[in-house]
A and B are shown apart, each in its own frame.
Chain A
Amino acid sequence: MNITCNDWRHEFALKLAPENILLQEQNVSILTIQADAWQSASKTAITFNCRFAAIWAKEVNQNFQLNIPLELNGKYLLLRTEIPIAKPEIASWANIYPAANRPERHTHDMFGVIFLDHPDCKRWTRHQAWSETEYPLRKNFSPNNPAIEKETPPDVDYPFFKLDGSGVCEVPVGPVHAGIIEPGHFRFQIAGEDVLNLEERFGYVHKGIEKLSENMEIKSLIRLAGRVSGDSTVAYAWATCQACENAINIEPPKRALFIRAIMSERERVANHLGDIGAICNDVGFAFAYYQFSRLKELWLRLNAEIFQHRFMMDCITFGGVKQDLTTNDIGKMHQEIADFKQELIELFAIIENSESLQDRLKTTGILTQEIAEKIGAVGYVGRASNCDYDLRRDAPYLPYDELSIKVPIFQEGDVAARLKVRAKEIMVSLELINELLNTLPATELQFNYTGSFKNCEGIGLIEAWRGELLVYVSFDENGKIDRYYPRDPSWLNWPALEQLIHGNIVPDFPVCNKSINCSYSGHDL
């Protein structure tokens, strides 16, 4: 036995599989167990109060390897088991962890793994582009199959939840929505204006990212990663690079890490600014929309000036960053932050004191702490419901291990609380950027790695602006990508919308949706 960590994971391993080896990895420990212990593992996990973070499969010889990372107190444990492809059956975790529901269905659609006793085993990612008996992520499935000529019919007979009764009617919304947003389907059952039930249906923007990454070179993977969810391009590029760097055990130079963090905080600020404006706009407070979209535009313009791209796409490279910051750049950012702070204090006060606005935001779309914990909500959605977790503080990756991070928390769980968390996070990020700029170390920008990537794997974990972003990468014997699985925070937060909409009225749906603002693209893959 080789148990090297002294936290709950030690106890967990002893309890579950004393005969197994617990490996100390970079940031995540791995525990391999027998497939027949999979179900008891879920029970042990819940008694430990672990948070379910993801599930993904991978083809390994004649088997499917299944992986579930669990988190508790900022420590990650990766549970792993294997089942034969010839009989791909395994116990479902979804009865105990609702967060496992959709990821397991995704794994079924992509690999054909059968999750026994799954509470709702309808298709999820699959619509009609491939058949029930084809599984795109199996290695024998050709990425170009089936041919483009075949027209894909709409997925009309998806078995939505039904509700009957006098005065109950059903409202289908989407996939094409009224605004400039991504496609997805929402099925409401309503009585009058009250929402009785909401069921989400996604997968419309599934474009085969996981399959596409197979056999890629690392460079192309990082380009692709930056396009899994465009609004989080920095976070994806960073998490993916981090996973690759962990796989071969290297660390980028410090200056590069600082610049990555600066970009990541800039991405957080840009998105928070835009969304605060949009949330206010959804309840008719146009003033805030114009002011915040103005600030966001200024912020993006400085991005373009310094990083040559408004969203800083393709600025993170494996082992480093693409470009340095000049003294001039640093000065401009400092100046901008000073200006923004002043303006934001003023604007947040106006938002706080605008009674008609607060009246719409308060008590709207409440996500209780109990439900938030149960579904494993992350990021600002969790933090507005008192789920006090932020990787930058609780599972710090470089360079955050050297910084002290304030994490704003609210209890109310309503739209107003989610907005407040984000407002506070902007201020925290502005301070952080200042600090990072002031202490920028004078090192190289790039770790030049000349070794190979053969048969290795790594996990990247980043606090993206939406919350915990987890990325798994493994390389094959030729040093090409064998498996890439990015788990957007949206996988954990989308189910929150179905819950927090209960008891609200249909006209408040847009603002509720905006207040969680999950990614469709990051989810559909």
Chain B
Amino acid sequence: MLKLLKKICEVGIITEQFNLNDTTDIEFIGKSCRKLINKYFASSLAIRMVDAGSCNGCELEIQALNNPFYDIERFGIHFVASPRHADMLLVTGPVAKHMEAALKATYAAMPKSNLVVAVGNCGVNGGEFGVSYASLGAVSNIIPVDFTIEGCPPTPAKLLTGIMQAIGNRNV
């Protein structure tokens, strides 16, 4: 137990202030987003994530948002299990035909004021998989999409920016 506490102290808090090299000022987005989340989502934005056919690369990066470096929860954003609790639907993958019904059902179960964000090149435009007998390609072919985050897969930093921009875009 002592070793464990020692380790926690040694490592300390590693969550990063944003100083990403890209042109977007995340601190700014983060702050203004926080305001929007406070105002429109009662201080917490709940995300339901659906993999509609991804190769699982995008999932790895979305999972990384919860690691101590990005710690997405500090912005009041968290992932939830039920679409009924969700304000945002994050969808990855080209939409596999076998996931069409499940994706539509998840979308239908969400509150009306939702935001849909398509993640990864596959979700945005079908990526390597495109449209075929088994794949429906872009998420927007199936449900209305409010915002897209490109990348194969998008890095956690890009995801974070994208999620925040999606909120900003919606309510500005």
User: Do A and B originate from a single complex?
Assistant: yes
Judging by beta carbons under 8 Å apart, are B67 and A296 in contact?
Answer: yes
When A145-B133, A207-B135, A212-B129 are in contact, do A290 and B100 touch as well, CB less than 8 Å? no
Residue A148 interfacial (CB < 8 Å): yes
Judging by beta carbons under 8 Å apart, are B98 and A152 in contact?
Answer: yes
Residue A346 interfacial (CB < 8 Å): yes
A-chain residues with CB within 8 Å of residue B50 when the two chains form the complex: 176, 183
Judging by beta carbons under 8 Å apart, are B131 and A182 in contact?
Answer: no
In the docked arrangement, what's the CA distance between A130 and B134, Å? 8
A-chain residues with CB within 8 Å of residue B128 when the two chains form the complex: 212, 223-224, 227
Residue B75 interfacial (CB < 8 Å): no
Q: Please tell me which one of the listed residues A151, A233, A524 contacts residue B57 in the complex, with CB atoms under 8 A apart.
A: A233
In the docked arrangement, what's the CA distance between A291 and B129, Å? 35
Minimum CB–CB distance for B172 against chain A, Å:
28
B-chain residues with CB within 8 Å of residue A130 when the two chains form the complex: 133
Judging by beta carbons under 8 Å apart, are A206 and B7 in contact?
Answer: no
Judging by beta carbons under 8 Å apart, are A347 and B7 in contact?
Answer: yes
Interface hub of B7, B67, B98, B137 (most chain A Cβ within 10 A): B98
When A178-B81, A231-B60, A293-B67 are in contact, do A287 and B8 touch as well, CB less than 8 Å? yes
Judging by beta carbons under 8 Å apart, are B97 and A129 in contact?
Answer: yes
Minimum CB–CB distance for B150 against chain A, Å:
14
When A130-B133, A205-B96 are in contact, do A175 and B102 touch as well, CB less than 8 Å? yes
Q: Please tell me which one of the listed residues A145, A151, A294 contacts residue B11 in the complex, with CB atoms under 8 A apart.
A: A294
In the docked arrangement, what's the CA distance between A175 and B81, Å? 13
When A287-B8, A293-B66, A294-B69 are in contact, do A311 and B60 touch as well, CB less than 8 Å? yes
Interface hub of B55, B100, B136, B152 (most chain A Cβ within 10 A): B55
Q: Please tell me which one of the listed residues A155, A207, A274, A293 contacts residue B68 in the complex, with CB atoms under 8 A apart.
A: A293
Residue B132 interfacial (CB < 8 Å): yes
Complex interface residues of chain A between 72 and 115 (CB less than 8 A to chain B): none
Residue A144 interfacial (CB < 8 Å): yes
Judging by beta carbons under 8 Å apart, are A294 and B102 in contact?
Answer: no
Minimum CB–CB distance for A292 against chain B, Å:
9
Q: Which residue of A lies closest to B70 (CB)?
A: A297
Judging by beta carbons under 8 Å apart, are A181 and B51 in contact?
Answer: yes
Complex interface residues of chain B between 80 and 104 (CB less than 8 A to chain A): 81, 93-94, 96-102
Judging by beta carbons under 8 Å apart, are A310 and B4 in contact?
Answer: no
Minimum CB–CB distance for A228 against chain B, Å:
7
Residue A153 interfacial (CB < 8 Å): yes
In the docked arrangement, what's the CA distance between A521 and B59, Å? 11
Interface hub of A175, A180, A304 (most chain B Cβ within 10 A): A180
Judging by beta carbons under 8 Å apart, are B60 and A230 in contact?
Answer: yes
Residue B161 interfacial (CB < 8 Å): no
In the docked arrangement, what's the CA distance between A360 and B81, Å? 24
Minimum CB–CB distance for B167 against chain A, Å:
19
In the docked arrangement, what's the CA distance between A204 and B93, Å? 12
Minimum CB–CB distance for A516 against chain B, Å:
15
Minimum CB–CB distance for B61 against chain A, Å:
8
Interface hub of B79, B105, B128, B141 (most chain A Cβ within 10 A): B128
Minimum CB–CB distance for B120 against chain A, Å:
9
B-chain residues with CB within 8 Å of residue A154 when the two chains form the complex: 101-102, 105
When A148-B136, A206-B134 are in contact, do A287 and B4 touch as well, CB less than 8 Å? yes
In the docked arrangement, what's the CA distance between A130 and B137, Å? 17
Judging by beta carbons under 8 Å apart, are A148 and B141 in contact?
Answer: yes
A-chain residues with CB within 8 Å of residue B3 when the two chains form the complex: 346, 349-350, 353
Residue A413 interfacial (CB < 8 Å): no
Complex interface residues of chain B between 147 and 166 (CB less than 8 A to chain A): 152-153, 155
Judging by beta carbons under 8 Å apart, are A294 and B93 in contact?
Answer: no
In the docked arrangement, what's the CA distance between A290 and B68, Å? 6
Judging by beta carbons under 8 Å apart, are B57 and A227 in contact?
Answer: yes
0 or 1 for each of B46-67: is its CB under 8 Å from A? (1 = yes) = 0001111111111111111011
Q: Which residue of B lies closest to A151 (CB)?
A: B100
In the docked arrangement, what's the CA distance between A76 and B106, Å? 45
When A176-B106, A347-B7 are in contact, do A207 and B134 touch as well, CB less than 8 Å? yes
Q: Which residue of A lies closest to B48 (CB)?
A: A176
A-chain residues with CB within 8 Å of residue B63 when the two chains form the complex: 180, 274
A-chain residues with CB within 8 Å of residue B100 when the two chains form the complex: 151-152
Judging by beta carbons under 8 Å apart, are B79 and A182 in contact?
Answer: no
0 or 1 for each of A264-303: is its CB under 8 Å from B? (1 = yes) = 0000000000100000000000010011011011001000
Q: Which residue of A lies closest to B141 (CB)?
A: A148
Residue B14 interfacial (CB < 8 Å): yes
Judging by beta carbons under 8 Å apart, are A228 and B55 in contact?
Answer: yes
Judging by beta carbons under 8 Å apart, are B133 and A519 in contact?
Answer: no
Interface hub of B7, B93, B96 (most chain A Cβ within 10 A): B96
Residue A141 interfacial (CB < 8 Å): yes
Minimum CB–CB distance for B53 against chain A, Å:
5
Judging by beta carbons under 8 Å apart, are A144 and B132 in contact?
Answer: yes
Judging by beta carbons under 8 Å apart, are A230 and B55 in contact?
Answer: yes
In the docked arrangement, what's the CA distance between A223 and B121, Å? 14
When A146-B133, A206-B134 are in contact, do A294 and B14 touch as well, CB less than 8 Å? yes
Judging by beta carbons under 8 Å apart, are A521 and B69 in contact?
Answer: no
Judging by beta carbons under 8 Å apart, are A207 and B94 in contact?
Answer: yes
Judging by beta carbons under 8 Å apart, are B131 and A148 in contact?
Answer: yes
Judging by beta carbons under 8 Å apart, are B57 and A141 in contact?
Answer: no
When A183-B102, A227-B55, A521-B55 are in contact, do A310 and B67 touch as well, CB less than 8 Å? no
A-chain residues with CB within 8 Å of residue B99 when the two chains form the complex: 175, 183, 204-205
Minimum CB–CB distance for B56 against chain A, Å:
5
A-chain residues with CB within 8 Å of residue B97 when the two chains form the complex: 127-129, 152, 206
Judging by beta carbons under 8 Å apart, are B101 and A180 in contact?
Answer: no
Complex interface residues of chain B between 1 and 56 (CB less than 8 A to chain A): 3-4, 7-8, 11, 14, 49-56
Judging by beta carbons under 8 Å apart, are B132 and A143 in contact?
Answer: yes
Residue A520 interfacial (CB < 8 Å): yes
Cβ contacts A to B, 14 pairs, < 8 Å: A141-B133, A142-B133, A178-B81, A204-B53, A205-B53, A208-B134, A209-B129, A212-B129, A227-B57, A230-B58, A287-B7, A291-B7, A293-B67, A311-B57
Given contacts A223-B128, A230-B60, 8 further A-B contacts (CB under 8 A): A152-B101, A176-B102, A180-B59, A183-B50, A204-B53, A208-B133, A224-B128, A231-B57
Closest 5 A-B residue pairs measured CB to CB? A230-B57, A208-B134, A178-B81, A129-B97, A154-B101
